[in-house]
Amino acid sequence: MELLQVADAVAREKNIERDQVLEAMEQAIQKAGRSKYGHEHDIRATIDRKTGDIHLRRYLEVVEEVENEATQIELAQAQRKKPAIKLGEFLIDELPPIDFGRIAAQTAKQVIVQKVRDAERERQFNEYKDRIGEIVNGLVKRVEYGNVTVDLGRAEAILRRDECLPREHFKTGDRVRAYIYDVRKETRGPQIFLSRTHPMFMAKLFGQEVPEIYDGIIEIKAVARDPGSRAKIAVTSHDSSIDPVGACVGMRGSRVQAVVGELQGEKIDIIPWQQDSATFVVNALAPAEVAKVVLDEENHRIEVVVPDDQLSLAIGRRGQNVRLASMLTGWDIDILTEAEESERRTEEFRSRSQLFIEALDVDDVIAHLLVAEGFTSVEEIAFTETTDLSEIEGFDEDVAAELQNRAAVWLAEQNEKMTARCHELGVADEVAEISGLTPAQLVKLGENGVKLLDDLADLSGDELRDILGKDGPSLDEANEIIMAARAHWFEGEENGETKTPPVATPAGAGKGASV
């Protein structure tokens, strides 16, 4: 009974199951038994869960032909001792209780301690692996080189120096609140990693301070943080009668101030989330005022025009405001002043007009009309409907037809020049035959050393787009071009042959994978 009382005490202290402690004791006694009678024997120990009695037994497997005399016995010999025994069963011999010597007792103690420690670590891992994403409170146990070991009561966690807020220092005994962002099973035991800089730490703090967030009425859509300095949080309400921003701010700012206090004075901008990307970006750049936005959905970029006096406010100190707005919305944001935007538009208007004047041999009035109608290239004029051109004020069908004819002639001349340039550069005909590449783009490839089919096949989608520039294909189109260039690598496989692609720069080894 004393043995069972010890097992109960250890189980309570280590917060593990009583059976796990008793199993550790059984393995310790079993190890001591094998040390006494021989490690080659199959000796097993059991502890009666009710009385605490220890039973030590030797097991012999009943077989037709003995291969190992220490663990096996022939059927005829076993039946002399136990007539009803069958093949595959075990003949069990009771062994007298062993008297633990000093070394055996020490070995048993080590086994029990190790098994109990393993059980405790397994319990800790199973408990905390499901708590990733929660906020926990603990006491600082020790601080080493800025890394803080936190006692959570039932386990220890690590708050690394780079996961602490800037200028934040802890002393032994301080109470700390942090976010569990990872739990790993390692040889030294489960490692619980905490963070106070993680964006979700702030989101969870709002969840504790704002009942509407906890109840799911208000949802946090995105969080962006510059830890210890400034943060932006986007919220939306599923109840039209509740203002999400006002609920998060609280009466006289009480709710947001509670979060700010926990984050060592970090300034927090609460932004109303919007489905419309342009409106959301405008909100995210607050407190700066925005005059105009232009979206480039293909490249996921957005151009924001602000009044001249709002530029510094929109960018923020060291680019902080625009950086956080970009992190919050997921869009790359370019900021221009109204003066810069006007100057750029004027330059675009002038350069396009000059292109039409030279290519179509028209006066500046007609060129200006074409640019004002939204035409940006000679190709658009050549391939648009004649009726669309004739509807421009001052144009008729004859003028429209003549413009399209001149555009087609100019394009043909340019294509001849580009084709000749491709031959000078040594661009292979197989590359030129790939669908989706214009003569001008083939020249760019040749000038960048992409002349053979394998050269093109070795590129990634992003590398191809970088070479061809802003007027090049989309990422999906670039990937299709590259896959067409790689087709010859796999032609032999259709006939059952094995064809190895040439060993060069691995596909996708550039800025992005092509497939």
The CATH number given to whatever domain includes residue 292 is 3.30.300.20
Residue where one domain finishes, among candidates 169, 195, 221: 195
Q: What was the pLDDT predicted at 223? A: 92
Residue 484 covered by a domain: yes
Q: What was the pLDDT predicted at 493? A: 55
Query: What is the enclosing helix (H) or strand (E) of 313?
Result: helix 311-315
Rounded-to-integer distance, Cα 350 and Cα 345, Å: 9
Q: Which amino acid is at 372?
A: A
Rounded-to-integer distance, Cα 209 and Cα 248, Å: 8
Burial class (CB in 10 A: 0-12, 13-18, 19+), 99: exposed
Is the entire prediction scored with pTM above 0.75? no
Residue 498 has pLDDT above 50, yes or no: no
**Region 310-339 average pLDDT:** 86
**Region 154-170 average pLDDT:** 85
Instruction: Give the relative orientation of helices 18-37 and 2-14 as an angle to the nearest 10 degrees.
Output: 120
Terminal C-alpha separation, the chain: 68
Percent of the chain with pLDDT over 70: 90
364 falls in which pLDDT band (50, 70, 90)?
confident
Based on the fold, state whether residues 61 and 10 are members of the same structural domain: yes
Residue where one domain finishes, among candidates 175, 195, 215: 195
DSSP assignment of 71-112: TEEEHHHHHHH-TT--TT-EEEEEEPPP---HHHHHHHHHHH
Place of tokens 């009044």: 307
Place of tokens 């802003």: 470
Residue 100 covered by a domain: yes
Q: What was the pLDDT predicted at 108? A: 62
Look up the CATH number of the domain holding residue 151: 2.40.50.140
pLDDT tens readout for residues 377-433 = 777 777 777 777 777 776 777 777 778 788 788 878 877 887 788 787 787 878 777
512 falls in which pLDDT band (50, 70, 90)?
very low
Q: Which two tokens stand for residue 65?
A: 């032909």
Residue range of the domain that includes 144: 132-195
Look up the CATH number of the domain holding residue 484: 1.10.150.20
Residue 260 covered by a domain: no
Q: Which amino acid is at 179?
A: Y
Q: What is the mean pLDDT of the chain?
A: 80
**Region 289-307 average pLDDT:** 82
Q: What was the pLDDT predicted at 102? A: 61
